[in-house]
Structure 1
Amino acid sequence: MKLMCLLLLLSSFASASDVRVTARKEADLVKIDAEFRVAVSKEQAWQVMVDFEHMPQFLPQLVSSHIISQSGNHLRVSQALNVPLSLFNYQYESVRDIDLKPFSEIHATSVGGSEAYQSVALLKPAQGQTVISYHAEWLPESSLLAGFALDTMRNQIRQQFIAMQQEMLKRHDQRASASTPQTH
């Protein structure tokens, strides 16, 4: 049994891929792109990416996440993050409108506040895996913050997607082990 658990754990690490993230400043706008592959179905990846109520359990620095309202495939989500920045922590709260195209696209737009943020995540099958591509555009309050935050944004997005990838693999492995007949 211990060997089986170890093999499942090692298979999760072997199935994880690098998360590539770029962040760049264009005028006052910060553009972020990310991509990774994960050895799960689109449906399994999707379930993690839209599990807003449980995200604080598996995403680093996410303090809270709640669905405020939902109408069909349109959600309003409130989240709070606590992001370490050099010598201090930056606490950030966001309310976003989320539009879902099940199993293929997640569009998010910030609502209210002084900073505009839009993103899209695309899920595509590829050779028994799911490729997740992400693009975001952020218009911060100040260009000083934008320049200072590029590395932090890049690292934060990378950490979040690594955590999502690990959660996808964990759930996949849990389902696989639950459906495997037990032999004695």
Structure 2
Amino acid sequence: MPQPPSLCTDKPLRGRLATACLALLLGVTGQAGAATGTPAPAEFREIRPDEVSVVFGSDQIEISLDTQAPVSLAQAWAVLTDYEHMSQFLPGLELSEVASRQGNTLRVHQRGSTRAGILHVDYENVRDVSLSPQRLITTHGVSGDAKRLDSSTELRPREGGVQIRYHVVFEPGRPLPSFLGNSALKRQTADNFNAFIREMIRRQDSTPRRNAAGSPPPNNSNPPDHRAMAPEGPAGPAP
């Protein structure tokens, strides 16, 4: 039975593709994050790598994930679209900024790095992001390390939380690092979404509750900087 091509040994892939996959796996949001080091709440079941689907084509890779976060739809949307603060809760993401905004269309610039042991990979990309509020995020790469980058993230309210369906198609532009294989891409994608869901839960848990007078207390729930807390380990993924 034929086996799927390997990122590192298949000739059609080996000759053209890109280090940017670390940064581009998330396409919708931030990139490059191992687990943040923030303890997961008891109700949070971490996403396992085997829940991520990775399909290799002749010159592109498709990654899909269908998962659920135990937060409100509004909170999930707020974190997945918080490009201005993403570098504060996704380790390895050094810069995340909205270069321009027109209604529900944004141009997002991100830069960062990731490592696996002594190996170090830098990435940078600019993406156009289209928002259908609290329903759908689509992105299209306009410059950076990938020849093609298109992603979608769909949100649906469910009992006990929100369903998140993520899909990305990318064609890297340079040879992939040797440590990136099927299992690595699955692990990186799972780690990244675990980091996003932790941040969703942290913010929801710190949402001010109204006091007896009906006024909320001061809001001091800005995202913390987890980067110094993140353990050094295998390369993180790339939303």
Same fold (TM over 0.5): yes
Q: Among residues 121, 128, 132, which one is paired with 1:97 in the alignment?
A: 128
Matches within 5 A, 1:33-182: 33-85=64-116, 87-113=118-144, 115=146, 116-142=148-174, 144-145=175-176, 149-150=180-181, 151-175=183-207, 178-179=208-209, 181=211
Provide the rounded CA distance (Å) in 2 between the counterparts of 1:174 and 1:155. 29
How many residues matched?
Answer: 170
Asked whether the equivalents of residues 65 and 167 of structure 2 are also in contact (C-alpha less than 8 Å), the reply is: yes
Letter in 1 for 2:185: M
Query: Matched residue of 1:145: which SS?
Result: coil
TM-score scaled to structure 2, two decimals? 0.65
Contact 1:17 1:37 in 2 (8 A): no
* 1:22-33 equivalence runs, <5 A: 22-33=53-64
Per-residue CA deviations over 1:79-130 (Å, capped at 9, x if unaligned) read 0121214541110001000000000100011102452111100111111310
Instruction: Quote how far apart the aligned CAs of 1:60 are.
Output: 1.9
Judged with a 3 Å threshold, the aligned counterparts in structure 2 of structure 1 residues 84 and 24 are, in CA distance, closer, same or farther, namely farther
Query: Cα deviation per residue 1:130-151 (whole Å; 9 max; x = unaligned)?
Result: 0111000011125x52885344
SS of 1:158's partner is helix
In structure 2, distance between residues paired with 1:109 and 1:181:
44
Which secondary structure does the structure 2 equivalent of 1:68 belong to? Answer: strand
Is the contact made by 2:108 and 2:129 (CA closer than 8 Å) also made in structure 1?
A: yes
- Quote the offset at 1:24 in angstroms: 2.6
* Equivalent-residue separation in structure 1 for 2:199 and 2:99 (angstroms): 24
Cα distance between partner residues in 2 of 1:137 and 1:49: 18
| Residue aligned with 1:35, SS | strand
8 Å Cα contact 2:125/2:141 also seen in 1: yes
**Larger RCO: Structure 1 or Structure 2 (Cα < 8 Å, ≥ 6 residues apart)?**
2
Unaligned runs of 5+ in 1: 1-8
Report what 2:42 is aligned to. 14
Q: CA deviation at 1:180?
A: 5.9
Higher strand share: 1
- In the TM superposition, residue 37 of structure 1 has moved relative to its aligned partner by 1.1
Residue pair 1:42, 1:103 contacting (<8 A) in 2 also: yes
The structure carrying a bigger helix percent of its residues is 1
- Unaligned 5+ runs, structure 2: 1-37, 213-239
Note the C-alpha offset of 1:15. Answer: 2.4
Cα RMSD of the aligned pairs, angstroms, is: 2.2
